Amino acid sequence: MNSVNFPANVVRLDNGLTVIHQEITATPVVVADVWVKAGASAEPAEWAGMAHFLEHMIFKGTERLAPGLFDYAIETRGGMTNAATSHDYAHFFMTLAAEALPEALPYLAELLLQAAIPADEFVRERCVVLEEIRQAQDDPDWLGFQAMSELVYQGHCYGRPVLGTETILNQRSPEEMRHFHQSLYQPQNMTVVIAGGLPLEPTIEMVKHGFRAFAQPSPCPPASTGSLPDAWGVRRETLMLPRLEQARLMLAWLGPGIEDVQAAYGLDLLAVILAEGRTSRLVRELREEKQLVQDISASFSLQRDCSLFTIHAWLEPEAIDRVEAIVCDRIAALAESPIGDAELNRAKRLLCNDYAFSTETPGQIAGLYGYYSTLAQPQMCTTYTPTIQAYGEADLQRLARQYLKPDRYAATVLQPA
């Protein structure tokens, strides 16, 4: 299936695996990026943290590949590899010279399809994951974001930390992880993206050969997705943290998921208008003119089911109430007052430039295709720039009225204890 404006080939193999390939003749490098619909939202609640823990354990070998052999095989070929897990996906990628991929890709495929999850490695790596959790809990910004997510999402799985908790992970077993792996790491849940200096035909044959020996599906408890929160007013939480040098004010509104990607892109525009750059509304007023904050930013993070529009300010504790009131007033103004052409055009230019800069390397391209393929369809990524360019001030006013209500948000405050 190809889109007229989509520069890559999308091939569905007979076993259900999706392959996305884009040849970039100008580079001798290739990126292989494998995306799996096996993020934290696929976990049973009692297995929270399993997806991220499995990301670690994938690299602990198979019946044929000893732990460390994969890393050695990639590094000796001059490549690098890494992985990441979110609520919506896990993905595993490697970058290396194009001529090395035929030898290297089978290693990655075997790890993903045939992970052994040995008991001794499970116990050792759990200590690593638990230390990662402890380090996160020492990070005030992580604590604040996690508290804000729980406040917004309530019982939905997006409110659970991707890392899981020490209590839950200490109760898990290698056998449970094998069930989780064999249930979800199946071809219908997987997209293999290859971008770089390799032509299509040999790449498809390479993927067919490497990604053929999937494990027999195993039963796994169903995911505990939970329901999205109903309409709500203002939710507030204050955390008193020791050794915190500066207070934080974090405000969050619930936005659309991938099913309304056009609205999601519009919220990107509103985030830029509010707080990106010295001339944006909140930065100019609160930091440059009134000097009520050390810094302030806004962002929109797109997720499959529902997303977050957030404003994050670094400030002195005595300024929190005043800054929150000003932000809510300026949020309300978005729905009522027109956005001038110069301001709107600046935001469009920034976002379209950022998008262009994020599609310059094989790694960026592979990540973009894999992300959209996992959430919806890879071709959707080509709609970003034309959608942004098509937005008018009336469209943004309607969007602000729908999603950015000044009486319906979550506020998380971090204060020095």
| Tens digits of residue pLDDT in 324-360 | 999 999 999 999 998 999 999 999 999 999 999 999 9
Inside any domain, residue 226: no
Residue 96 pLDDT greater than 80, yes or no: yes
Looking at the structure, do residues 291 and 200 belong to the same domain, yes or no? no
Backbone angles phi, psi at 81, to 5 degrees: -145, 155
Residue 362 pLDDT greater than 50, yes or no: yes
Looking at the structure, do residues 197 and 292 belong to the same domain, yes or no? no
**What's the CATH code of the domain at 297?**
3.30.830.10
Q: Helical H runs in 185-228? A: 200-210
Predicted confidence (pLDDT) per residue in 258-295, tens digit: 999 999 999 999 999 999 999 999 999 999 999 999 99
End-to-end CA distance of the chain: 57
pTM: 0.95
Q: Based on the structure, what is the number of domains in the chain?
A: 2
Range of the domain at 283: 234-416
Out of 146, 175, 210, a domain closes at 210
Residue 2 pLDDT greater than 80, yes or no: no
Mean pLDDT over the full length of the chain: 96
Looking at the structure, do residues 285 and 193 belong to the same domain, yes or no? no
User: What is the reported pLDDT for 136?
Assistant: 97
Residue 4 pLDDT greater than 70, yes or no: no
371 vs 143: CA distance, rounded Å: 26
User: What is the reported pLDDT for 208?
Assistant: 97
Mean pLDDT in residue range 10-25: 97
**Residues 84, 34 contacting (CB under 8 angstroms):** no
Predicted confidence (pLDDT) per residue in 51-84, tens digit: 999 999 999 999 999 999 999 999 999 999 999 9
The band of 135, judged by pLDDT with boundaries at 50, 70 and 90, is very high
Inside any domain, residue 219: no
Looking at the structure, do residues 200 and 260 belong to the same domain, yes or no? no
